[in-house]
Structure 1
Amino acid sequence: MSRSQLAGAQAVISIPRRETSLQGRMELNQEMARRVLTTSPIPMKTKLLHQIGLSLYNTSHGFHEEEVKRKLEQFPGGSVDLQKEDSGIGILTLNNPSKMNAFSGVMMLQLLEKVIELENWTEGKGLIVRGAKNTFSSGSDLNAVKELGTPEDGMAVCMFMQNTLTRFMRLPLISVALVQGRALGGGAEVTTACDFRLMTTESEIRFVHKEMGIIPSWGGTARLVEIIGSRQALKVLSGALKLDSKKALQIGVVEEVLQSSDETECLREAQEWLQQFIKGPPEVIRALKKSVSSGKELCLEEALQTERDLLGTVWGGPANLEAIARKGKFNK
Structure 2
Amino acid sequence: MNRTPEGYEKLEVHFGREEKRYVWHTHHIHGKMARSLLKTSPDPVKTKLLHQIGLSLYNTSHGFHEEEVKKKLEQFPGGSVDLQKENNGIGILTLNNPSKMNAFSGVMMLQLLEKVIELENWTEGKGVIVRGAKNTFSSGSDLHAVKALGTRKASIDGVALCMFMQNTLTRFMRLPLISVALVQGRALGGGAEVTTACDFRLMTPDSEIRFVQKEMGIIPSWGGATRLVEIIGSRQALKVLSGALKLDSEKALRVGMVEDILQSSDETECLKEAQEWLQQFVKGPPEVVRALKKSVSSCKELCLEDALQSERDLLGTLWGGPANLEAVARKGKFNK
Shorter-chain-normalised TM-score: which range? Answer: 0.7 to 0.9
Partner of 2:34: none
Report the secondary structure of 1:243's partner residue.
Answer: strand
Deviation, structure 1 residue 43: 3.4
Deviates more, 1:42-51 or 1:149-158: 42-51
Partner of 1:226: 230
Deviation, structure 1 residue 46: 5.2
Partner of 2:294: 290
Pairing partner for 2:170 from 155, 166, 186: 166
What are the superposed Cα offsets for residues 193-220 of structure 1, whole Å, 9 maximum, x if unpaired?
A: 0000000000000000000000000000
Deviation, structure 1 residue 61: 1.1
Report the RMSD for the aligned CA atoms in angstroms.
1.7
- Between structure 1 and structure 2, the one with the greater Rg is 2
The 1:190–1:68 alpha-carbon spacing in structure 2 relative to 1, beyond 3 Å, is same
User: Distance between the aligned counterparts of 2:47 and 2:63, measured in 1?
Assistant: 22
Letter in 1 for 2:227: R
- TM-score, structure 1 normalization: 0.85
The 1:181–1:317 alpha-carbon spacing in structure 2 relative to 1, beyond 3 Å, is same
Letter in 2 for 1:109: L
What are the superposed Cα offsets for residues 84-129 of structure 1, whole Å, 9 maximum, x if unpaired?
A: 0000000000000000000000000000000000001000001000
Moved >6 Å (runs of 4+): 328-331
Alignment: residue pair count: 291
What are the superposed Cα offsets for residues 257-299 of structure 1, whole Å, 9 maximum, x if unpaired?
A: 0000000000000000001100100000000000000122111
User: Distance between the aligned counterparts of 2:214 and 2:42, measured in 1?
Assistant: 39
Deviation, structure 1 residue 322: 0.6
Unaligned runs of 5+ in 2: 1-40
Higher relative contact order (CA 8 A, sep 6+): 2
Residue 166 (structure 2) pairs with residue 154 (structure 1):
no
Residue 271 (structure 2) pairs with residue 267 (structure 1):
yes
Report the secondary structure of 1:316's partner residue.
Answer: coil
Does the 8 Å CA contact 2:213/2:244 hold for their aligned counterparts?
no
User: Distance between the aligned counterparts of 1:70 and 1:257, measured in 2?
Assistant: 40
The 1:323–1:146 alpha-carbon spacing in structure 2 relative to 1, beyond 3 Å, is same
1:1-332 correspondence to structure 2 within 5 Å? 43-44=43-44, 47-48=47-48, 50-149=51-150, 150-239=154-243, 241-327=245-331
Deviation, structure 1 residue 329: 11
Unaligned runs of 5+ in 1: 1-40
Deviates more, 1:74-83 or 1:48-57: 48-57
Deviation, structure 1 residue 42: 5.5
Deviation, structure 1 residue 246: 0.3
Report the secondary structure of 1:63's partner residue.
Answer: coil
User: Distance between the aligned counterparts of 1:190 and 1:65, measured in 2?
Assistant: 20
Letter in 2 for 1:325: A
User: Distance between the aligned counterparts of 1:186 and 1:42, measured in 2?
Assistant: 38
- TM-score, structure 2 normalization: 0.84
Name the structure where helix makes up a greater proportion of residues. 1
Deviates more, 1:47-56 or 1:268-277: 47-56
Letter in 2 for 1:71: K
Report the secondary structure of 2:221's partner residue.
Answer: coil
Report the secondary structure of 2:330's partner residue.
Answer: helix
